Amino acid sequence: MRDMNSRRENNSLDERIGKLLLEREVEDFIAREAAMLDEWRLDEWLGLFTDDGRYMVPSTDIPGGDPKETLGIINDDMARLRGRVERLKSRHAHREFPWSRTRRFITNVRIKEMTEEEIQVNASFLVYRIRSGQVDPLIGGYIYTLKRMDGALKIAVRTAVLDLEALRPHGTLSIIL
């Protein structure tokens, strides 16, 4: 009887430690991702995605909109996302040449759901874009679908949902949010 109880406690301690380690791993993953974006290490950032990854920013009036039937702001499959990165590295992406400075504050990282294949993670963001004398804050939340591949976490879906009512006074979403 006593053995069983202590085993149960051990199991639950293992589970709790496992959960804590996963939370740390996910938080660390997101922090490293943010640093890649702030430092414009965009090729490295692309490597975080699965081959069929997706990056989306819905419109501000329908934040939960399905991009297949709702006009959003960004809906990139990997071909478009690679195109976006290629463009941002060019000196002809005039809105981002020279690159703006950005600083990302990402908090409230929560693991919402976990299956064998996927981890769904929500987080809050405050991203500042600084350029041409303007400081524009972008406020909202991330919804990630992460997958573990060969031991490492990869991004299958990355949706940035803006809390802003409009991209005003920002004008554009020319950085990767």
Site of interaction with other proteins (CB under 8 A): 57-62, 65, 67-75, 77, 79-80, 83-84, 86-87, 90, 92-96, 132, 134, 165-174
Identify which of residues 69 and 116 has a Cβ nearer to other proteins in the complex: 69
Identify which of residues 52 and 116 has a Cβ nearer to other proteins in the complex: 52
Identify which of residues 26 and 58 has a Cβ nearer to other proteins in the complex: 58
User: Measured from the CB of residue 69, what is the shortest distance to other proteins in angstroms?
Assistant: 6
Rounded to an integer, what distance in angstroms lies between the CA atom of residue 93 and that of residue 72?
21
User: Measured from the CB of residue 21, what is the shortest distance to other proteins in angstroms?
Assistant: 36
Peptide bond between residue 63 and the one before it cis (omega within 30 degrees of 0): no
Rounded to an integer, what distance in angstroms lies between the CA atom of residue 122 and that of residue 150?
23
Identify which of residues 39 and 86 has a Cβ nearer to other proteins in the complex: 86
User: Measured from the CB of residue 91, what is the shortest distance to other proteins in angstroms?
Assistant: 10
User: Measured from the CB of residue 161, what is the shortest distance to other proteins in angstroms?
Assistant: 13
Rounded to an integer, what distance in angstroms lies between the CA atom of residue 74 and that of residue 80?
10
